[in-house]
Amino acid sequence: MVLYAQRGERVHNTSLCHGACVEVDSDTDAVVNEGFKLGCISCKMRGEVPAEATVEWSFMPKGESEFTTIYSYKDLMSDIPDERFYERLDWNGSKKTKDLQDGSIYILNVTWNDTGTYRCIFNRTLIFTSFKFHNDTTKIVHLNVVPRLTRGIASILSEVMMYVTIVGLQVWLVVEMIYCYRKISVQGEEALRESALKNGSKR
C-alpha cells in the first residue's frame, strides 16, 4: 500500500511534497479459493519531479525455471496475456495517474496452481526540464497457497505463555489461600487452648 502524510507531518526517509510514499513488502501466504493482494510499491526518490511509469507482472510456477508475463499496466490500461489468469487479476495500485508508485494487483479466487514466484517490474521515466531519466525497479514475491491462514509461531507461543501464566497465578492463589486458612486455624486453636488454661487457673 501507499501511505500519504499531510503537509507538515514528519515521515522518516521520505520527501513531503504532496505526500509520502512508503515501501511495504507484500504478504506471501494466500488462502485457496479466496482473494489475495500481490503488493508491489516503488517510491520515487525525487517526489517533486513528475514521472510516468508502467508495471509488468510475471509468474514462475513452483518447479519451473522461466517467468511468463501475466499482467501489464500502461497508460491507465491493463492487459492480461496469460489465459491462466483471465478474469482473475485486477489492478490494485495507483489510481487515475500515470505517475505510478503502487503497482499492486489483486488475485481473485486463488488456486493451488498460483503457488510460485511473482516478479513485478516498474519501468519509470522521470521528466526533468531538459531531459528524461529512465530506471527499472524489480520486486519479487514468493507466494505460498495454504488451505487456511495459520498464525505465526511467535503468536502461538505468546498465547500459550499467557495461559500458562494465568494458570500459574491461579495455582499460587489457591496455595496462598490454603496456607492462610491453616495459619488462621492454628492460631485459633492456640487461642482456645490459652483461654482454657487461663480459665482453669482462675478456678
Give tens-digit pLDDT for 18-47: 456 788 888 888 999 999 999 999 988 777
In which band, very low, low, confident or very high, does the pLDDT at 201 lie, cut at 50, 70 and 90?
low
Instruction: List, in order, residues 6 or more apart from 19 with CB less than 8 Å away.
Output: 4, 5, 47
Q: Which residues pair with 91 in a beta bridge?
A: 105
**For the range 86-92, what are the long-range contacts, defined as Cβ-Cβ under 8 Å and sequence gap of 24 or more?**
89/57, 92/37
| pLDDT above 50: residue 133 | yes
Average pLDDT value for the chain: 83
Instruction: Give the tens place of pLDDT for each residue, 141-187.
Output: 999 999 886 666 666 777 788 888 888 888 888 888 888 888 888 78
Q: Which residues pair with 74 in a beta bridge?
A: 77
Residue 13: the pLDDT is: 38
| Topology adopted by domain 29-146 | Immunoglobulin-like (2.60.40)
| pLDDT above 50: residue 15 | no
Q: How far is the CA of 180 from the CAs of 65, 174, 184, 190, in angstroms?
A: 71, 10, 6, 15
| pLDDT above 80: residue 189 | no
In which band, very low, low, confident or very high, does the pLDDT at 16 lie, cut at 50, 70 and 90?
very low
Residue 19: the pLDDT is: 54
Lowest mean per-residue pLDDT among 53-57, 135-139, 195-199:
195-199
| pLDDT above 80: residue 11 | no
Can you tell me the distance from the alpha carbon of 146 to that of 163, in angstroms, rounded to the nearest whole number?
A: 28
* Cell, residue 153: 509461531
- 68-74 and 51-61 strand pairing: antiparallel
| pLDDT above 70: residue 195 | yes
Residue 181: the pLDDT is: 84
Can you tell me the distance from the alpha carbon of 12 to that of 101, in angstroms, rounded to the nearest whole number?
A: 18
Instruction: List, in order, residues 6 or more apart from 133 with CB less than 8 Å away.
Output: 125, 126
In which band, very low, low, confident or very high, does the pLDDT at 203 lie, cut at 50, 70 and 90?
low
Can you tell me the distance from the alpha carbon of 79 to that of 75, in angstroms, rounded to the nearest whole number?
A: 11
Residue 200: the pLDDT is: 66
Residue 14: the pLDDT is: 36
* Boundaries of every domain in the chain: 29-146, 151-203
The one-letter code for the residue type at 168 is G
| pLDDT above 70: residue 63 | yes
Q: How many C-alpha atoms does 50 have within 13 Å on its Cβ side?
A: 7
Tell the burial category of 37 from Cβ atoms under 10 Å away from its Cβ (0-12, 13-18, 19+): middle
| pLDDT above 80: residue 12 | no
Residue 150: the pLDDT is: 63
Question: What single string gives the DSSP state of each residue in 49-112?
Answer: S-EEEEEEEEEEETT----EEEEEEETTEEE---GGGTTTEEE-S--S-SS-SB--EEESS--G
